[in-house]
Amino acid sequence: MITKSFTIINPTGFHVRPTKTFVQTASQFPCKVNVINKGKKVNGKSSLSMLTLGIATGDEVTLEIDGEQEAEAMEALGKLLVEVHE
């Protein structure tokens, strides 16, 4: 299992559009993806659960990835977290 933290700079936090891209990308990987924000941990392949994290600009979000292709998933998903989606 690997974990890494990322700071969100997207101006509107991490809402429907970025979450959609994140979940679609996460779903392409066989490994288990957990997303942690402010102490709450949810399934990174569920857009609804992701929304309940209330990720806002400036939040530090941790990814906890376990299983096949975990390194590739970390790279792809980490990049999405720090990008500007508008």
Q: Active-site residue numbers?
A: 15
CA dist 67 → 1, 8, 33, 40, 80 (Å)? 7, 25, 9, 21, 20
Which residues fall within 8 angstroms of residue 14, CB to CB, at 6 or more apart?
Answer: 8, 22, 50, 53, 55, 56, 59, 61, 81
Binding flag, residue 13, other proteins (CB under 8 A)? yes
Closest separation in Å from C-beta 82 to other proteins? 6
Q: Cα 3 to chain center, whole Å?
A: 11
Q: Which is nearer to other proteins, 50 or 70 (CB)?
A: 50
Q: Which among 14-22, 29-37, 68-76 is the span making contact with other proteins, rule CB under 8 A?
A: 14-22
SS3 10: coil
In the list 1, 2, 5, 24, the residue contacting other proteins (rule: CB under 8 A) is 24
DSSP 28: T
Binding flag, residue 25, other proteins (CB under 8 A)? no
Binding flag, residue 41, other proteins (CB under 8 A)? no
Instruction: Please give the residue ranges that form the binding site for other proteins (CB under 8 A).
Output: 7, 9, 11-13, 15-17, 19-20, 23-24, 42-43, 45-49, 51-52, 54, 56-58, 82-84, 86
